[in-house]
Chains A and B, each alone.
Chain A
Amino acid sequence: ILNVEQSPQSLHVQEGDSTNFTCSFPSSNFYALHWYRWETAKSPEALFVMTLNGDEKKKGRISATLNTKEGYSYLYIKGSQPEDSATYLCAFNGATNKLIFGTGTLLAVQP
């Protein structure tokens, strides 16, 4: 059974705070690590797909890093805004073609 874990489970920050979450995944048979943003009552939307050890990706105020050797990825949000409030999911893509999701980090940004 593949274990994809995310921490923390939830996070409450003030507008303007910077924050980060962790995703840990198996370090063997690695193909890719995905990050998704999931707003309430909507469908998940892709943020990043990361494939190489040491990869860093950035989209606006959101960035992510990847360490495949130790099996973790960090997602950073700089200067959080209320519209960043959502659940952030990571997903592990291994050799089996399956995309297995973690349970997510729920971010609430208060104005």
Chain B
Amino acid sequence: NAGVTQTPKFQVLKTGQSMTLQCAQDMNHEYMSWYRQDPGMGLRLIHYSVGAGITDQGEVPNGYNVSRSTTEDFPLRLLSAAPSQTSVYFCASRDRDYNEQFFGPGTRLTVL
């Protein structure tokens, strides 16, 4: 199993550009989530999904869109990048409540 994979590993954008961060898991997990990591802030939940076709907002959803058309994939879209979105983004999955969450390797995004 590859576990949770994320692409790209690094990305530099200009303000106003859009892009999609890819996330995939091969463990048939129902729950998938996106987090951002900022110094002193820990991991903050952006969006999450409890199954294909179902998504919901987390703590900091503004400026981001998600969709879940398959169990395996959970892309995160930045609609119009802003410097405040400079961060490290982690995708994670788990099979249900009560079970541990597995994290991808992260995507480091810089918005100039």
Using a CB–CB distance below 8 Å, which chain A residues touch chain B?
1, 31-32, 34, 36, 43-46, 49, 51, 89, 91, 93, 96-104
Chain B residues within an 8 Å CB radius of A49: 98-100
Q: Are A43 and B90 in contact (CB under 8 A)?
A: yes
Chain B residues within an 8 Å CB radius of A97: 31, 48, 50, 56, 97
A96 to chain B, nearest CB (A): 8
Interface centre among A89, A99, A103 (most CB of B within 10 A): A99
Since A89-B42, A97-B97, A101-B44 are in contact, a sample of 20 more A-B pairs with Cβ atoms closer than 8 Å, ordered by chain A residue number, is A34-B100, A43-B103, A43-B105, A44-B90, A46-B101, A49-B99, A49-B100, A91-B101, A93-B97, A93-B98, A97-B31, A97-B50, A97-B56, A98-B45, A98-B56, A98-B58, A100-B45, A100-B59, A103-B42, A104-B42
A97 to B45, CA, bound (A): 12
A-B CB proximity, top 7 nearest: A46-B100, A103-B42, A43-B103, A101-B43, A32-B98, A101-B42, A104-B42
Chain A residues within an 8 Å CB radius of B56: 96-98
Q: Are B43 and A44 in contact (CB under 8 A)?
A: yes
Among B12-20, B21-29, B33-41, B67-75, the stretch in contact with A? B33-41
Chain B residues within an 8 Å CB radius of A91: 43, 101
Q: Are B31 and A34 in contact (CB under 8 A)?
A: no
Partner of B33, one of A34, A99, A104: A99
Instruction: Tell me whether chain A's interface is mostly helix, strand or loop, or mixed.
Output: strand
Give how many A-B residue pairs fall within 8 Å (CB-CB): 59
Residue of B nearest to A96 (CB): B56
A101 to B40, CA, bound (A): 12
Interface centre among B31, B100, B105 (most CB of A within 10 A): B100
Q: Are B45 and A103 in contact (CB under 8 A)?
A: no
Chain B residues within an 8 Å CB radius of A100: 45, 59
